[in-house]
Amino acid sequence: MSDTQHPEWEPFMRRALELAAQGPLTGGNPQVGCVLVDAAGRVVAEGWHHGAGTPHAEVDALSKLPTTADGRPDASGLTAVVTLEPCNHTGRTGPCSVALLNAGVARVVYALSDPGKRSSGGAAHLRAGGVEVIDGVLRREAEAFLHRWLTAVARNRPWVTVKWASTLDGRAAASDGSSQWITGTASRQRVHEEREASDAILVGTGTVLADDPSLTARGDAGELMPHQPVPVVVGERAIPGDAALRRHPAGLIESRELVDDPRDLAAILAALDARGLRRVYVEGGPALASAIVAGGFADEFSIYLAPALLGGDRLAIGELGIPTIGQALRLRLTAIEQLGDDLHLRAIPTTPEPAKEN
């Protein structure tokens, strides 16, 4: 079913969404795509946002047009189809609404309004400049595509994915504390990919002191992937001077240096958001993961289940403050995949999270 009164623009918006997906998930900015269409319905240029600090999608597409005598991109008579309302502010780059106006576009079609307090107003600026503006084309698809980013922006805190690896009986370590490795290589490679798609990795001091993890994102051959999430160690205890995390290529953030109370998860997440770290991947251990879930901060779960049993009391998730079955935190599975001998489950909460206990 058509989303709008303008189905003629939907194929172009679908292409713009495909282009948007080529941009990075990390870096704090949304993935945005743009196509420039002439009066005959031909796509004459395409662009997408390549990441924070680089030209926005509209400017990237305009840069591929021939220029006028005074050196401006010549978009006269063209329609710009863009997945997000053109921005109206000067950040690390100039306002896209002005770039589109200066280039002479006749019409701008977009899917989603810009939710940013400082960057919105682009549509009004374009209309005031005499450009026809159509909004809401494939809005639902675009909302689904940008769901994590939109949620983070609306809440002023990052999108939080809680990951753990456990045995079928829900244990995350053996009785001696060892947990490397519960799952097989295919699962561990997927974890590296999930790290690379994150801005920050959260880990408790307990895991750092027990395992001395490197928390880098690595490829099949152990090579560093192009993007490295910054590790954030949560807790009061200091990290040893020779810890592997001190050699992490993205640096190291200790929550005790970030906020007054190094266990205050709301404050830590707000501080990370303020740094443009919008996608956070929680790698445990059980105490930190439980506190994230109990605090209502878990937006998504990524669970790796190995066909093994460990028994004992080292559960992947500990006390959540749920007194009775009727108050269980119910999840909806969004993906199930077999990775080698393991199962990888993705899930989102379906009921309101339990109230914060501490």
Ligand X SMILES: NC(=O)c1ccc[n+]([C@@H]2O[C@H](COP(=O)([O-])OP(=O)(O)OC[C@H]3O[C@@H](n4cnc5c(N)ncnc54)[C@H](OP(=O)(O)O)[C@@H]3O)[C@@H](O)[C@H]2O)c1
By CB under 6 A, is residue 265 in contact with ligand X? Answer: yes
Cα 276 to Cα 123, 200, 239, distances in angstroms: 25, 10, 24
Instruction: Tell me which stretch binds ligand X (CB under 6 A): 81-89, 149-157, 177-185, 332-340.
Output: 177-185
By CB under 6 A, is residue 101 in contact with ligand X? Answer: no
* Of 182, 201, 298, 317, the one binding ligand X by CB under 6 A: 182
By CB under 6 A, is residue 179 in contact with ligand X? Answer: yes
By CB under 6 A, is residue 342 in contact with ligand X? Answer: no
Minimum distance of ligand X from residue 343's CB (angstroms) = 14
Structure tokens at 53: 């600090």
Residue 290 and residue 329 in contact, taking contact as beta carbons nearer than 8 Å: no
Minimum distance of ligand X from residue 248's CB (angstroms) = 16
Applying CB under 6 A, the site for ligand X has a residue count of 28
By CB under 6 A, is residue 172 in contact with ligand X? Answer: yes
* Of 115, 206, 296, 340, the one binding ligand X by CB under 6 A: 206
H or E element that contains 272: helix 265-274
- How many H-runs (helices) and E-runs (strands) does the chain carry? 11, 13
DSSP 257: H
By CB under 6 A, is residue 317 in contact with ligand X? Answer: no
User: Which residues in the 279-298 window bind ligand X by CB under 6 A?
Assistant: 283-288, 291
Q: How far apart are CA 109 and CA 84, in angstroms?
A: 9
**Is the torsion defined by CA of 213, 219, 222, 227 positive or negative?**
negative
Other Cβ atoms closer than 10 A to 99: 23
Q: Any idea which residues carry the catalytic annotation?
A: 58
By CB under 6 A, is residue 215 in contact with ligand X? Answer: no
Instruction: Tell me which stretch binds ligand X (CB under 6 A): 59-67, 95-103, 173-181, 322-330.
Output: 173-181
By CB under 6 A, is residue 299 in contact with ligand X? Answer: no
* Of 27, 204, 229, 231, the one binding ligand X by CB under 6 A: 204
* Of 165, 269, 277, 280, the one binding ligand X by CB under 6 A: 165
* Of 102, 237, 321, 353, the one binding ligand X by CB under 6 A: 237
Rounded to 5 degrees, what are φ and ψ at 167? Answer: -75, 175
> From start to end of the chain, where are the E strands?
33-37, 43-48, 79-84, 107-112, 132-135, 159-167, 200-204, 230-234, 253-254, 279-282, 300-306, 331-339, 342-349
Across-strand partners of 233? 203, 254
Binding site for ligand X (CB under 6 A): 164-166, 172-173, 177, 179, 182, 203-207, 210-211, 234-237, 263, 265, 283-288, 291
